[in-house]
């Protein structure tokens, strides 16, 4: 089953508190002289036609990239699922590819590789490497939006638990483990 780029909206998750980076906004931190959001916008635009950014601060900086910036509908940084919910609500396409702002090393054809690896119809697919699951590198259908609204309404926050409820399928498209590096600490951003 192949899902085309025109059927997918990209959603960059940049709305976290940045606790492990001294509460800095990860999307605004620089790596090799560019803000992380610049890497993700460039990367996403090479793969899909529509892009959105989920952010909760530095909104004017994010807006300067020319894409819709979504603010969580739930207050107090409730986690990435709130950004995903907003993205599903706002998307004009059936599918949303979610990706965190702090993973700048992914191959340029990641979304195509994921879509080409889908063997059966599910409502969500997340990337799995040889070592672990990457729940926030996720292709998810708008059809899951109400399930997510109810999940968050119960006070639930764990991405893994939500993906289990909707029977999301892990997909290993053979991407090298080093590409899945998360930049979680200030030292990761040094040039």
Residue 99's Cα: distance from chain center in Å? 2
Cβ-based neighbours of 17, under 8 Å, separated by 6 or more: 23, 77
- Residue 15 labelled as part of a binding site: yes
Please answer whether residues 136 and 13 qualify as being in contact, where contact means their C-beta atoms are separated by less than 8 angstroms. yes
- Residue 13 labelled as part of a binding site: yes
Cβ burial of 150 (10 Å; 0-12, 13-18, 19+) is exposed
Question: Nearest CA to 144 among 100, 88, 90?
Answer: 88
Contacts 24+ apart (CB under 8 A), 130-133: 130/172, 130/177, 131/177, 132/180, 133/160, 133/170
Number of other residues whose CB lies within 10 A of the CB of residue 160: 11
- Residue 164 labelled as part of a binding site: no
- Residue 102 labelled as part of a binding site: yes
- Residue 72 labelled as part of a binding site: yes
- Residue 121 labelled as part of a binding site: no
Please answer whether residues 99 and 40 qualify as being in contact, where contact means their C-beta atoms are separated by less than 8 angstroms. yes
Show the tokens assigned to 183. 């930049």
Binding site as annotated, residues for Mg(2+): 102
Binding site as annotated, residues for GTP: 13-15, 26, 72, 102
Binding site as annotated, residues: 13-15, 26, 72, 102
């Amino acid at each position: 089953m192949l899902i085309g780029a025109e059927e997918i909206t990209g959603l960059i998750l940049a709305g976290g508190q940045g606790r492990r980076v001294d509460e800095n906004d990860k999307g605004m931190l620089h790596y090799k002289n560019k803000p992380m959001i610049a890497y993700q916008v460039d990367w996403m635009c090479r793969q899909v036609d529509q892009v959105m950014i989920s952010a909760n601060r530095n909104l004017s900086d994010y807006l300067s990239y020319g894409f819709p910036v979504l603010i969580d509908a739930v207050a107090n940084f409730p986690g990435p699922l709130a950004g995903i919910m907003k993205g599903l609500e706002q998307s004009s396409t059936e599918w949303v590819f979610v990706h965190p702002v702090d993973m700048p090393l992914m191959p340029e054809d990641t979304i195509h590789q994921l879509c080409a690896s889908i063997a059966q119809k599910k409502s969500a697919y997340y990337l799995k490497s040889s070592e672990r699951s990457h729940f926030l590198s996720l292709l998810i259908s708008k059809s899951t939006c109400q399930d997510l609204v109810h999940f968050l309404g119960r006070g639930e926050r764990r991405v893994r638990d939500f993906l289990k409820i909707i029977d999301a399928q892990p997909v290993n498209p053979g991407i090298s483990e080093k590409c899945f590096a998360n930049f979680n600490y200030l030292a990761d951003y040094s040039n």
